[in-house]
Amino acid sequence: MDRKTKEQVVSELQEKLKQAKLGVLTTFNAMNVEKMEALRNALRKNDAELKVVKNTLLGIASRETGFAVLSDHFKWPVAVVLSYKDPVAPSKALIEFAKKNPELEIKVGVLDGKLL
């Protein structure tokens, strides 16, 4: 990825982080494509989205947002779940999916700038 593309990704991600009410970091090791798509679809139904982003780009994008409190947790390959409206429904969908798929680990979250 060239520098210009990275800057664009960071800019778009930072805007999403500023708008999001809830963010949850998860690991997704050993999840196949079908399971990732099923998770994305379950989250979309609840007005949330799943983004897989490089830790360095996520760290840069999270500066000056409520997600900066998560910066110590950008250590493993992560996917970030973002909810822009109701934080409860996507949380329930994520927990239900994790119960059925143990390879998905919910690590840490942030709600309105507060670490969960």
Q: Which H or E element spans position 5? A: helix 3-19
Q: 76 pLDDT exceeds 90?
A: no
Q: In this structure, what token pair is assigned to residue 86?
A: 């109701």
Residues 6+ apart with CB under 8 A from 99: none
- In this prediction, residue 114 carries a pLDDT of 84
- In this prediction, residue 68 carries a pLDDT of 86
Report yes or no on 114 lying in a domain.
no
Number of domains in the chain: 1
Provide the CATH number for the domain around residue 50.
3.30.70.1730
Report yes or no on 84 lying in a domain.
yes
Report yes or no on 115 lying in a domain.
no
pLDDT tens figures, 21-66: 999 999 888 788 999 999 999 999 988 999 988 989 999 999 888 8
- In this prediction, residue 66 carries a pLDDT of 86
Report yes or no on 47 lying in a domain.
yes
Report yes or no on 81 lying in a domain.
yes
Q: Once rounded to an integer, what is the mean pLDDT over residues 66-83?
A: 86
Report yes or no on 79 lying in a domain.
yes
Q: Which H or E element spans position 62? A: helix 55-62
Domain that holds residue 70: 3-109
Residues in the chain: 116
Closest by CA to 111, choosing from 55, 42, 48, is 48
- Round the average pLDDT of the chain to a whole number and report it: 89
Report yes or no on 51 lying in a domain.
yes
